[in-house]
Homo-oligomer: A and B are copies of this chain.
């Protein structure tokens, strides 16, 4: 991935990682450039991917990526409490609460008080929500296939496994599960 030019004036988005790693390693010698490069690349890859999926699939349909994630979880888990949607989607309960308001306003999700717990809210998709998510998920997956198409099936598997390994013992950090 090294590029031929490294002068600030010539910097482009795609050459910035190389430049940043080289310069930073020089300024802060005790740093681990491999870790730095991995995290920078990982972050950029995901942001490009998410930006592309959101702008090519979700926004044209009037949805947001976070809204899609909530809808997706509700679709998969049937009538479900907001609390569990937050857990599975990796969002805070406040975020789910706000998103569900928008989705309810748009007629995609229905709220109902839980019969067993007066505090809890049960979430289900409306017919409109159910229809919309299947169509959207197809388009979403088609776009995903285009993205991962630059890797062989074996490379895709390797990449998924390495990512799995990366997060596997992330419980070392008391990290809340955000994703």
Which residues of A pack against B, CB within 8 Å?
1, 8, 11-14, 16, 19-20, 23-24, 27-28, 30-32, 34-39, 41-53, 55-56, 72-73, 76-78, 80, 84, 87-88, 90, 134, 137-138, 141, 144-148, 150-151, 153, 155-160, 162-170, 172-173, 175-179
Within 8 Å CB of A90, what residues of B?
A: 13, 44, 47-48
Knowing that A35-B141, A47-B90 are A-B contacts, what are 4 other residue pairs whose CB atoms are under 8 Å apart, sorted by A's residue number?
A11-B84, A13-B87, A14-B177, A39-B53
Closest to A153 in B: B34
Q: How far is the CB of A136 from chain B (nearest CB, A)?
A: 11
Residues of B within 8 A of A76 (CB): 8, 19-20, 23-24
